[in-house]
Structure 1
Amino acid sequence: MARTSKRKVRLESQSLQENVSVKTYMAGIYARLSVDNHDGKEISIETQIEMAKEYLKSHTEITLYDCYSDLGATGTNFQRSDFERLMQDVRDGLINCIIVKDFSRFGRNYIETGNFVEKIFPFLGVRFIAITDQYDSIKQADCNEALSMHLKNIANELYARDIAEKVTASKQAKMKQGEYLGSIPPYGFQIEKIDGKRTLVSEPVTSEIVREIFNRYASGETFVSLVKWLYRQKIHRPSDYKKYKTVYQQEGQQLRQWERESIRFLLTNDAYIGNLVQSGKHMKEQITAEHTHEPLVSEEVFYRVWERIEGNIKIQNRRPLRKDTMEDIFRGVLYCGECGHKLSRMVTERKASYKEVKTFVFYSCPNSKRIDEEKCENEQITFLQIQKVILHLLKKEFLLSSTQMKKLMEFNKEAGEKRKEQIQKAQDELQKSVDGADRKISSYYLEYRNGSISQAQFLETKKKLEEKKEQDRQALRDLHTEYSSIDRMVDKQNQFLRTILKYKSCAELNAELVQNLIEKIYVYRGKRVEIIWKWNDEFAKVMGGTDDEK
């Protein structure tokens, strides 16, 4: 039998010991491609991710969890969808390592990028790697390396600013020349390239509809009459015109009424008299190019319509506001049971006698005023009618005496403490399991060194123990979350009971009672009311009762 040199055994032992003690990482690869990539110099999303995967092959202590990418996203800020998903996974403890191609892919804002790398990631225990910049946060960085990182971040930010200024100047020049840079033309126009410029030209069918809307309003019609006329003519509103690619309703298409605000916006858009007003993403002011395309309406008609709209606004501003001193105690909880829309609140005053004026509050579904398929048939309901139903339910549902309610509060508190003790015991057991995993790994390593088990058996057992340790750690995190929420849940349930006790014999509702007891109120036709109370299923079993009342 061949002898194994002591040096070889020593090296092999050292290698396995390092394998036992090296920290493992779950990594997220992040890639970004800027909206300002006009010169083709930036590396594609796929290439960035592939570069990071190649890097992982030589770093076995890092396991890939997921890839995150933002295509067409600027690096000057961090409001990016997949970056936010990446940070959420960091906060959830799913990943503890972030890999990027270089600092510029992570961000071009010097201050924010430095804040993440130097403060946020170390606080969260996250390892940060920028491959081509040869930066790894777990390595001891000297002053020269730190200075190099800062200089690269400053250069990235200056580059982003320079590109933004050049793009802005280019857009401004095109706008002043009358080129249309928007993606969707105003209703009544279409985009055609004329002499190499994207230009607005009239669309034959919709342009006639625009002219008719202007003429009708200029002759005295109201927004309401225009909505009805457009619906009778089966003319799709602009969003549905874009969706269906047809001006008039065809078989199988849903016809929805125009909104008054859409008509108002159309009537005040000076694109219809040949003016083009545009603003870019980085623009500080709007750019106006006059008479850059064929007008759809005359200036005379346009300004006559404008004056009428302005006059109506001034009249509305001069109207005295209706007296509404009553608190809206149902704010945010009242819904239409037929269509699910939030109910609107209206206040009116009526003379009860020569001297007395009474205030009436009632609620209705905004969809009841529609004329299309979304029209809701629900009727109005008054504040007094809703109050009567809720007070009746309070007396019917909560029949417990004051003594019983106080006992129930004590029971909730004791049950919460009991559950906290159970969680503490489970946490202690899991922590023992986590602490024992490393001891077991060391024990199996000694068995391997003594020849009791093979290297393959040792590595397989080590892998299973580490997987079990990670499962236990996740269970510990879940128990910690539950433990911290118990007191809050008990307080919430007891606050519910205290509110019932306080207002058990009340003759009218108030905001405190509604906000503490009621999640939602649904009103159906026939003035049927359904109430969703603020308690969980277990609590409802203790309290008993039904949720709706006719």
Structure 2
Amino acid sequence: MNSNLSLQADLVPAIRSDSNVNKSHTHPIAGSMLILGYARVSTKHLSQATSIPNQVARLEAYGCHKVWKERASSGDSDRSEFQDMIAYAMKAAKSQSVCIVVSERERLWRNLEEQMIVLQHLYDHGIEFHDLAGKIEIHEPEGRLTTHILGAAAEFQRNLTIKKVKRQKAEARDQGLPLGKPPFGYQLSDDKRQLEPDPNTWNIAKEIVNRYLQGEGLHRISSWLLKTHGIKRDRASISRWLDSPKISGHQRYIITEKDGTCEKWVYNTHKALVTPEIEKSIIQRKKNNKAHCGNNQPLYAVSGIVHCKSCEVGINWSNQKEFRYGRCKGKFPKKCPHSGTVRADRVEQAIITAICLRADEIAEAILPPKGDRPDPEILKLEQQIQKKKQFHKENGGDGLEQDIWKLETELAHMRNQIDARHQNNERNNEVIQMLAQPTFWDGMSEQDRNLIYKDLGIVVWVRGREIVSVEL
């Protein structure tokens, strides 16, 4: 069976751990039966007969004591309400008779494999299963056979629907037709084959673009939309809308194939909300926002290098100009026992002090001591060259000259590498001595200081207001 079915993974351990499972499978007395209902739709674009309110009304009229409602695909194995209902039913079945009721079998599943798993769980717990067309005897061989046949037919119908939808989407892509929900400011034409401006939201959409280009933040734009026009849009949806090529008059299709995912563009398919110049301005504004918010560069000098010694997590920093304060990120259930805040300027003072105190130590670690012994690899090569030259001088031979030349070339390359390493170490020493000067840090931006701290591998440990240690 398919191991990725979350229902199987969630429910099987509960079944195995239950030692009081009802295996008698006797028919329950109607008066003492707990009746549970389940209503599901895939999308909101359904007929009135299959809508959630209609299903709930029919289930309540049948006598359901509790009804679970969900909007999800029948092929989705991770349906939270469905799993909650099954878990509730199995728990209640320990003390009373339980029956699960749906308006149609297709509301519960259209996947034969999942159906077999769920029915086995219901069978093991003595839970009855009804739909409004009639009772299904899952405790009898004939009823289980009928259920499996109907489940196979439902899965076949669902697979045909998926195949039809994929074919229609491919045809729409080839013709450059719109797919999915129209973006804000647009609506589908009468023939559903083109996007056209929505007279109710077109001017509002233009105002959103103007406000964004004038420097207004996405949060403020979202609040303005809600207060002024009663339109609820969060910052993430507005940001995605600004990135959409549809507002520039183009269609973009995401095509998933066996060998990967690709994009297909069809240009100038409908009226554009923004001109190419405005589109470039939006892209530039987004780049500036990312740089300012620290996606490309850190915002504070001590970002990412200070950690709480007690919780071993990072520090949240306040956005104050004069003194920036940091507090441990540890929250419930691992709440930090130290409620104090540490100042960023004092952390930087501790970092610079540690660099000044350890400058000589770091320089000695990276620079070789005077009178250092030669590299053993170089000594080995020199001895080999000397032996081959001696042998060639005494015995002659044309092949040895080429071997000697290769060894000498390798020796020269190794010496060049060692010289370059020594020069690099000397430059590093000069840089460290320069960093040890307190005046070096005057006038440097926080982003540049943070990059230097991270290049040096600095980690600062704090405990509340106390700076515990600075590691280099």
Q: TM-score range by the shorter chain?
A: 0.3 to 0.5
